[in-house]
Chain A
Amino acid sequence: MLAKRIIPCLDCDLAVPEGRVVKGKEFKEIRHAGIPWVLAERYYLDGADEIVFLDITASSDRRGTMVDVIKKTAERVFVPLTVGGGINSMADARKVFNSGADKVSINTAALKDPALINEITESYGRQACVVAIDAKRRYGDLAGHETVPTPQGKCWFECSSHGGRQFTGIDALKWAAEAEERGAGDILLTSMDRDGTKEGYDIELTQAVSDRVRIPVIASGGVGSPQHILEVFQKTGAQAALAASIFHYGEYKIGDVKKYLKENGIHVRV
């Protein structure tokens, strides 16, 4: 039986030499957590099942830094490495794979050109393409959308692009199904409503997407404690849980979180 995965996510600003891991997508109080490959190695040794790097560099001045960061990480980290952010074409994806990444995560580029999913999976295999979906609840204009009942009433989920700065009108539940059909290996599902809140994952969203696809769903956005990770595994079909800040500042250690999950009946690699 496959184990549920715990995946630390490192949001990387590559505008400085060596890059730096910054806190989440909320830029209001930026705290620097460390050098990407140093943190990645620490998480690997602590039992991470996979590592995700997300390039959130605001400026375009990052050429070469990501390649260097991936190479240094691949020398030290012996679990799958996923790289996302700013991958807009097959050429961008190839560069990331050639540096030593095992998977790419694509979001905006896939929304613009869904065939990019097919192109990547045909060359590198299904496991190599993660489609990231940033979804936000919408309670009005339900017509034509797949709706989900929530305590606040029925809602649908809208995909956002460009790191949450733009909204697309695209139905996230329909898009997840299309991404699977085109060959995506995982859906990295972030709740825009919960991201940065530490209130827990969006259970309704995660359940709705895992009900509609047969590929693994990685729950993301809102985790503030190990209990939230347990909750998302108990209440939804998510195969993996992504977390960032709870690991970065030593609040929780991955090994301890996995032990806690195992004690509560979740099948994890410890």
Chain B
Amino acid sequence: MIAILDYGMGNLYSIKNAFEKVGAEARIVTDGKVMREADGIVIPGVGAFDSAMKKIAPLRDDIIDTVRSGTPFMGICIGMQVLFEKSEEGNSEGLGIIRGNVVELPENVLVPQIGWNELEIKKHISLLNGINDGDFFYFVHSYYCVPKDEPAVCATVEYGKQVTAIAASDNVCGLQFHPEKSGPKGLTILENFVGSVKC
């Protein structure tokens, strides 16, 4: 079972629908205990960093423990950003699961970035099976993640500068774009994640 963490940051039905479309059993979960029983965990969400951190705080220990236990973990959009240590958007401390910070998009482009942008793959991971350089994904964001360790960056998009699109470290990955709104290619990524859960 894949647990989609509901911590009060936006509508989660699209992501649930998308996981069901690729044949996974997905459940929207609010309780840390239920989350600990899941085979894979997804932190979705849209919104601001501080309010996300505030709402996710009661689940911090459950999240850290399940990450340490090796459970496959996926953060999407703001759910990716909370995996990092700090954000320019707020004052709260992040979960610190991936080393690095979240910074604002450059000033020479329209912020937020809203739309379909082309992926540049930097490092091939199993999540990217069936995905090619130049495939488009749907982005909605004003801030982006800068991992401290360069090898954590698996894919970027060009938006004023190279912006991290996918970061990963061990059993944890973060996607800045919305795979559930990125057409068949987005579903391929979710399917790959489900595949890693079953192994």
Contact = CB atoms under 8 A, between A and B. Distances in A.
Contacts of B183: 44, 47, 78-79, 269
A239 interface: yes
Nearest to B184: A78
B158 A125 contact: no
Contact of B116 (A3, A44, A75, A214): A3
Contacts of A62: none
Contacts of B17: 74-75, 78, 100
A264 B116 CA distance: 19
B115 A2 contact: yes
Given A78-B180, A79-B138, A125-B47, A1 B117 contact: yes
B11 A78 contact: no
A19 interface: no
A3 B136 contact: yes
Please classify the interface of chain A as helix (H, G, I), strand (E, B), loop, or mixed, using the class held by over half of its residues.
loop
Contacts of B13: 74, 100
Interface residues of B, number: 29
Given A44-B183, A78-B18, A5 B11 contact: no
Given A78-B181, A102-B181, A215 B110 contact: yes
B112 A49 contact: no
A1 B14 contact: no
Contacts of B186: 78
Contacts of B20: 75
A79 B115 contact: no
Nearest to A45: B184
B43 to A, nearest CB: 17
Contact of A78 (B46, B116, B118, B182): B182
A80 interface: yes
Interface in A79-98: 79-80, 97-98
B21 interface: yes
Given A74-B13, A75-B17, A100-B11, A127 B140 contact: yes
Contacts, number: 70
A48 B68 CA distance: 40
A80 B14 CA distance: 10
A186 B158 CA distance: 21
B113 interface: yes
B64 interface: no
Interface string B106-127: 0000101111111000000000
Interface string A212-232: 001110000000000000000
A97 B11 contact: yes
Contacts of A239: 115
A253 interface: no
B38 interface: no
A145 interface: no
Contact of A3 (B21, B113, B117, B181): B117
Interface in B74-124: 110, 112-118
A79 B178 CA distance: 9
A214 B110 CA distance: 7
B187 interface: yes
A65 B99 CA distance: 47
Interface of B: 11, 13-14, 17-18, 20-21, 46-47, 110, 112-118, 136, 138, 140, 158-159, 180-184, 186-187
9 contacts: A2-B116, A47-B183, A75-B21, A78-B180, A97-B11, A125-B47, A127-B140, A214-B110, A239-B115
Q: Give 4 closest A-B pairs by Cβ, nearest first.
A: A269-B136, A2-B115, A3-B116, A127-B140
